[in-house]
Amino acid sequence: MATMTVRNLPDDVHRALRVRAAAHGRSTEAEVRDILEAAVKPAQRLRMGDALTRLGRDLGLTNADVEAIEQGRDRTPADPTGFDE
C-alpha cells in the first residue's frame, strides 16, 4: 500500500477531521482514507462490466446469441502495418 503525507494542513481542518473521526469511532487516519476513497471511487460510478451486463439483459441476449457472435467472428490475424510505400 502507498503512503501519503499531507503538508500545510490548516489547524482547523485537522481539528475538524479529528472530530469527524471520533464521531465515526475511528482514527483520524482511517477517516481521511474513507473520505479520499469516497471522493475518488463514488458508489454511483459507472462500472463497465455492470453496464455491459445490464445492456445484454435489456436486449435479451442469450448464451446462444453470444456463441453465434463468437462463431461469426473473423479470427484471421491482421497483416502487420507496413511503413514502406
Number of helices and strands in the chain (H, E): 4, 0
Is 36 within 8 Å of 17 (Cβ atoms)?
A: no
Contact between 31 and 16 (Cβ < 8 Å): no
**Between residues 81 and 11, the one the model is more confident about:** 11
* pLDDT confidence bin for 85, thresholds 50/70/90: low
* Interacting residues of 24 by C-beta distance below 8 A, sequence separation 6+: 31, 34
Higher pLDDT residue, 65 or 7? 7
Residue 5 has pLDDT above 90, yes or no: yes
The residue extents of the domains of the chain are 11-40
Which cell goes with 37?
476513497
Integer Cα distance of 37 and 44 in angstroms: 13
